[in-house]
């Protein structure tokens, strides 16, 4: 390429100073005067992309065509496609950039990111490993390899994150990832130490305070945990995760009134009335009684499809299913979305609000069938709950009950609705009774949270399984102030 002209340097200066409108105008004038200038086409593409204006891709393609050996326009095009979430197009552009300059570590990392988003994890790992040569991109490469391996091999992921922080001790994201991986591995002392170092690098990160507090909680260092939960809330008063985890930690200490107050002020609590209703969904009979498992078919099962759509549309909020023993796919293998009662009046969560009305009718009918239960209280409380997806091979195979620790003494009932028919597998098995409930759209269960109703979720062999599930809690005395 020819040496840059004074006019080109002027465009660069305007761009670097953030004067993008002027830079764009100057760049267009230069292209009009010198239409074969590849450098100006590439730079104008960057300027347009920074402004979110159309035409950036055309500029990068023109620059790449003018100089067939120059990789930068295709690297920039790949970044643009990544930002647009057009991951397949990003892969194509970044592969072309690497064909033109095979040793570019930054481009290899971006290619890995694009491949990962398309689900091509093995190819993404190959691309990331191409960027491992010593240099400024080494820490990022190790961090990206670790992130790609996190669900497949957490121990190897932790090793990669360790290499990343050794290559760049100031790399906060890698330090955070190291702490998360160590937490999953239940190497809690190491996790807490890593997260403390991360907090030194990013001191105003409420999410990081919550991660550290969770590790400290599980180590039994409760006062330190409380400090970091409260610090997260001070930094971000609307941080529901911090309030919820603070509430759970307080419950674990037996300070249930304080814990439930924290939850109510964070993700929220909604009351479900047990008052008799004129109508209720049709009851289903589960053989083998008495077993105190209530079952119904929802009157308006179309809400199930709406809940599945809500789940799929919020993929950025998904997380791997976790049980009381932590994150372990051998125990529970699902993808979950947490729903906060505080959100139910948001129009986006209308399916949840409609569903809770039907659940309330089922709960009222349950109370009508068991008058002693109805006599205990007029309503029960529902706290944050989950929508879950199980793919083939997914399960919750550990036999468990819903009240297995001091933190959850206030749980009285569990509830679940199957949101779709499952082709094969996925039954809910109540082990003491030899009952296996087949997943069918709209089928809703309510059962006691106690150990008497230990259960597990069988492996989904064919198709997908979607459920919405949560708990009904003893209503505590209302705490004000």
Average pLDDT along the chain: 91
341, two tokens: 């009662």
> What is the pLDDT, as a whole number, of residue 324?
57
Nearest to 260 by CA among 469, 449, 479, 481: 479
Q: Which domains does the chain have, with CATH numbers?
A: 206-267 (1.25.40.10), 271-473 (2.60.120.620)
Tens of pLDDT, residue by residue over 72-81, are 999 999 999 9
Q: Give the angle 246-251-253 at the CA atoms, nearest 5°.
A: 100
Angle between helices 56-66 and 72-83 (to 10 degrees): 160
Here the contacts of 9-17 (C-beta below 8 Å, separation 24 or greater) are: 11/40, 11/43, 11/44, 11/47, 12/43, 15/43, 15/46, 15/47
Query: Residue 327: is its pLDDT beyond 80?
Result: no
Cβ burial of 242 (10 Å; 0-12, 13-18, 19+) is buried
Which helix (H) or strand (E) segment holds residue 191: the answer is helix 188-201
Over residues 314-326, mean pLDDT = 74
Tallying the residues shown for the chain, one arrives at 481
Q: How confident is the model at residue 152 (pLDDT cuts 50, 70, 90)?
A: confident
Residues in Cβ contact with 378 at an 8 Å cutoff, skipping those fewer than 6 apart: 273, 274, 275
Tens of pLDDT, residue by residue over 396-445, are 778 999 998 888 888 999 999 999 999 999 999 999 999 999 999 999 99
Tens of pLDDT, residue by residue over 250-297, are 988 888 888 989 999 999 999 999 999 988 999 999 998 789 999 999
| pTM of the entire predicted model | 0.74
Q: How confident is the model at residue 479 (pLDDT cuts 50, 70, 90)?
A: very low
Q: From CA 93, how far away is CA 433, in angstroms rounded? A: 58
């Amino acid at each position: 390429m020819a040496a840059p002209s004074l006019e080109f340097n002027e465009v660069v200066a305007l761009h670097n100073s953030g004067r993008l409108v002027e830079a764009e105008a100057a760049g267009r004038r230069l292209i009009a005067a010198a239409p074969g200038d590849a450098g100006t086409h590439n730079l104008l593409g960057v300027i347009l992309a920074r402004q979110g204006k159309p035409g950036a891709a055309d500029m990068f393609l023109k620059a790449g065509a003018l100089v067939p050996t120059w990789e930068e326009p295709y690297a920039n095009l790949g970044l643009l496609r990544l930002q647009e979430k057009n991951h397949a197009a990003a892969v194509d552009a970044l592969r072309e950039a690497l064909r033109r300059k095979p040793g570019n570590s930054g481009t290899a990392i971006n290619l890995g990111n694009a491949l990962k988003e398309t689900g091509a994890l093995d190819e993404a790992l190959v691309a990331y490993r191409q960027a491992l040569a010593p240099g400024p991109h080494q820490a990022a490469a190790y961090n990206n390899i670790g992130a790609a391996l996190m669900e497949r091999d957490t121990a190897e992921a932790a090793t990669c994150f360790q290499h990343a922080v050794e290559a760049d001790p100031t790399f906060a994201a890698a330090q955070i990832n190291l702490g998360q991986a160590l937490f999953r591995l239940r190497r809690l002392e190491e996790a807490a130490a890593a997260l403390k170092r991360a907090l030194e690098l990013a001191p105003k990160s409420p999410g990081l305070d919550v991660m550290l507090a969770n590790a400290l909680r599980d180590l039994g260092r409760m006062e330190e945990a409380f400090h970091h939960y409260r610090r997260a809330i001070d930094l971000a008063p609307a941080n529901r995760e911090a309030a919820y985890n603070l509430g759970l930690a307080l419950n674990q200490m037996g300070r249930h009134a304080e814990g439930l107050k924290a939850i109510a002020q964070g993700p929220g609590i909604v009351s479900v009335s047990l008052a008799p209703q004129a109508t209720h969904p049709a009851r289903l009979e589960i053989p083998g009684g008495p077993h105190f498992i209530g079952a119904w078919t929802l009157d308006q099962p179309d809400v199930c499809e709406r809940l599945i759509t809500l789940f799929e549309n919020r993929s950025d909020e998904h997380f791997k299913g976790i049980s009381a023993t932590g994150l372990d796919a051998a125990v529970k293998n699902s993808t979950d979305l947490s729903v906060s009662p505080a959100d139910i009046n948001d129009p986006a969560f209308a399916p949840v609000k409609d569903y809770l009305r039907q659940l309330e009718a089922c709960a009222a009918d349950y109370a009508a069938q068991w008058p002693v239960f109805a006599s205990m209280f007029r309503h029960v409380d529902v706290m944050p709950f989950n929508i879950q997806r199980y793919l083939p091979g997914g399960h919750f195979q550990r036999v468990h009950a819903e009240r297995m620790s001091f933190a959850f003494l206030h749980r009285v009932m569990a509830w679940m609705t199957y949101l779709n028919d499952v082709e094969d597998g996925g039954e809910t098995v109540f082990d003491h009774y030899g009952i296996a409930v087949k997943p069918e759209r709209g089928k809703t269960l309510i059962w006691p949270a106690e150990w008497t109703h230990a259960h597990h979720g069988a492996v989904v062999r064919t198709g997908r399984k979607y459920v919405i599930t949560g708990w009904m809690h003893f209503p505590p005395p209302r705490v004000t102030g």
